[in-house]
Structure 1
Amino acid sequence: MSVELFAKDDAINLFKSQRILMFGDSNMRALYKDLIWLTRYGTLIPNEKLRAKNEDSFSGDKRLSEGVLTASRNYVEIREYKREFHLHYEFITRIYTKKFEDFIESLKVPPNFIIMNSCVWDLSRWGPNGIQDYKANVDKTLHLLRNKFPKTCIVFTTTLPISLKARGGFLTENVQFLNAVLPFSIVEANNYVAKCCRKYDIDLIDLHYYMQYQIDSLVMDGIHWDPAAIRFINNIIFTNLCQKVGKQLPNNIAIHRKCNTKENERKEIAKNEIKPKIEQNYYNRYDFTTCN
């Protein structure tokens, strides 16, 4: 199935009256903001709005955490948006913590959707055992979510590619040397996450696969993405969610035009070449073994 283009009303219809939880780093925050902007204004979010962080309010949402900006791994940013749907976002620097577990266990009403990713902070900011801890924490997190919310649509996204010359953000001066190996560590981490998602029957959206062909959409820091790329990523996620819950796709990119047979064939070939596909099975590129 091709990636669909979601307009304002399409996104609202998908999420209307739904409860959505989003957990992740600044790229997940960008997806959170873009979803709100799309359903409020129906346009591409301005770059300055996308890059801002920890503001008191963004397009009608509310920051629930204290407004303390820091580059430490203890950074907290919690946001909530209530309008056509209930959207909750939390910035996390580690995929599993006791605080995260307590929050999940405290929820009385199961969310309809959970969208989650965590990796680069886990691997770079939690000491020499970061990789082993990450593997254990992925397993604990997916086990917790699946057991707590057996009927919730849970989606884990693979970590987006970063530049070999990435700088800033989680890459403070003390860990700047990691930018030479982190892009490759991300690939291995995504591989492991895929195995665990299969183990717990949790959907995986391989954003790394799609965005490796869009590297020119990275901004100057080599970590974050421009507004058009963020909207593209959200369209990938929305298409997947529509398929998962059985909702009709918007079909906004269908073109109906009368032309001769050869012209039709040429256009069909060109369309298939430039439109990325969402695979039926996200796991078939990996050699799976038992998830430890």
Structure 2
Amino acid sequence: MVHLLASEVRQLLHNKFVVVLGDSVQRAVYKDLVLLLQKDCLLTPSQLKAKGEHTFEQDKLVRGGQLGRMHNGTHYREVRQFCSGQHLVRFYFLTRVYNDYLEDVLEELQAGEHHPDLVIMNSCLWDITRYEKDFWPSYRRNLERLFGHLRQVLSESCLLVWNTAMPVGDRITNRFVPPEIRLASSSVKSRVIEANFYSSAEAQKHGFDVLDLHFHFRRHTGKFLQTDGVHWNERAHRHLSQLLLAHVADAWGVELPQRDPVGKWITDGPGRGRPDRRLERQPLVYGDQPACPPPRPLPLPGRQPLLPTPSPRPPLFPLLSPQPHPRPFHQSLVEMGNGRGPEAKEESWMERQPINQAKTTSSEERHPCILVAIVDSLKG
């Protein structure tokens, strides 16, 4: 898997309507995608922590958040949207996988002027910590209702990617989790694994794609999980975005540029036996193209190469002024490559692959690695 540059992400999602649904972790997925559509740098810790702000990197708070009363209740709402001349990305905050509010969201998407081309969704932690004690029957029932409704609402051309919930830490301190649940963090870890098993099975049963993020990040809680035991740092979210975009490109039959895989970069670091090509690239501003674009590889049979960006139309919003301390992506790769501590003997990000990362031709051929996560959890 290669790391896509901002200019390449803009090409992949050109004239696409992307919808992200879920909790605060999914909000960070939305934010990193919005940032990556504009420039090659990482989110700042303050951007990751912010909640319900009026604007983020030229996006707009549409409903909820700081437009109303801020709280951590199950009725919290937040709708955000980023719109440029060629891209539309929207986020809906959810506290339950299926309820009346989710039905309203789906009706809004169905009745809107633009229909989604890509839907990225997860709901887990709120479902298993904030409602009735015997939550499993309702969670499984709501999953079945959700995917059945999505199959009716979404167009056949829309790609829905259900991403499994990320791992949680040994100690959870986030305030949205009730105090009695925080004291039993180990039970939450096993609940997440079980919920991922049920949700991925239900998604596949209805013919939707599953991206097993729990598998990809299961061995990296020590370095990239925030101290609250729930949220992840900016490097983890950039890697998450790249996993997601690679899955989407494969599903759409788009051939990605041929560069060194991310696993090699993180394991070896730059400058070990080959020139540091990443350091030669400068952060891109919206609409710019690389000075020396890499040669386009020959397309494989049945696959479509990533096309050059069409002449961009003027953006709907003014360009953002440069950040005072930009964080170029290549710098973070260097840090990740050289900063391996006690975990140096562990596998790199991409040394092991989940069975169902690539889109297959039928739902029967997809087998997520939830059982691997269950075995790892039991070993732990």
TM-score, length basis structure 2: 0.67
Residue aligning to 1:170: 176
Alignment gaps of 5+ in structure 1 = 260-271, 288-292
- Residue-by-residue CA offset, 1:154-197 (whole Å, 9 max, x unaligned): 00000100012011142132532342301001111111112111
- Shift in Å at residue 16 of structure 1? 1.2
Stretch moving more, 55-64 or 127-136: 127-136
Q: 1:231 to 1:169 in 2, by over 3 A?
A: farther
Alpha carbons 1:32, 1:89 under 8 Å: kept: yes
Out of 133, 136, 158, the position equivalent to 2:138 is 133
Alignment gaps of 5+ in structure 2 = 265-272, 274-346, 359-364, 372-380
Normalized per residue, the structure richer in helix is 1
- Shift in Å at residue 103 of structure 1? 2.2
Alpha carbons 1:6, 1:252 under 8 Å: kept: no
Q: How does 1:1-292 map onto structure 2 within 5 Å?
A: 3-66=1-64, 67=66, 68-83=69-84, 84-106=86-108, 107-108=110-111, 109-149=114-154, 150-215=156-221, 216-253=223-260, 275-276=350-351, 277=353, 279=355, 280=358, 282-283=366-367, 285=369
- Shift in Å at residue 244 of structure 1? 0.3
- Shift in Å at residue 274 of structure 1? 5.5
The whole-number CA distance in structure 1 between the counterparts of 2:178 and 2:11 is: 41
- Shift in Å at residue 273 of structure 1? 6.2
Q: State percent identity of aligned pairs.
A: 24
- Shift in Å at residue 206 of structure 1? 0.3
RMSD: 2.2
Alpha carbons 1:124, 1:178 under 8 Å: kept: no
The whole-number CA distance in structure 1 between the counterparts of 2:48 and 2:153 is: 32
Residue aligning to 2:361: none
Letter in 2 for 1:226: N
- Residue correspondences, number: 272
The whole-number CA distance in structure 1 between the counterparts of 2:160 and 2:239 is: 20
Letter in 2 for 1:122: D
Residue aligning to 2:336: none
- Shift in Å at residue 229 of structure 1? 0.4
Alpha carbons 1:206, 1:282 under 8 Å: kept: no
Q: Secondary structure at the match of 2:63?
A: coil
The whole-number CA distance in structure 1 between the counterparts of 2:370 and 2:179 is: 34
Q: 1:174 to 1:278 in 2, by over 3 A?
A: closer
Q: Secondary structure at the match of 1:181?
A: helix
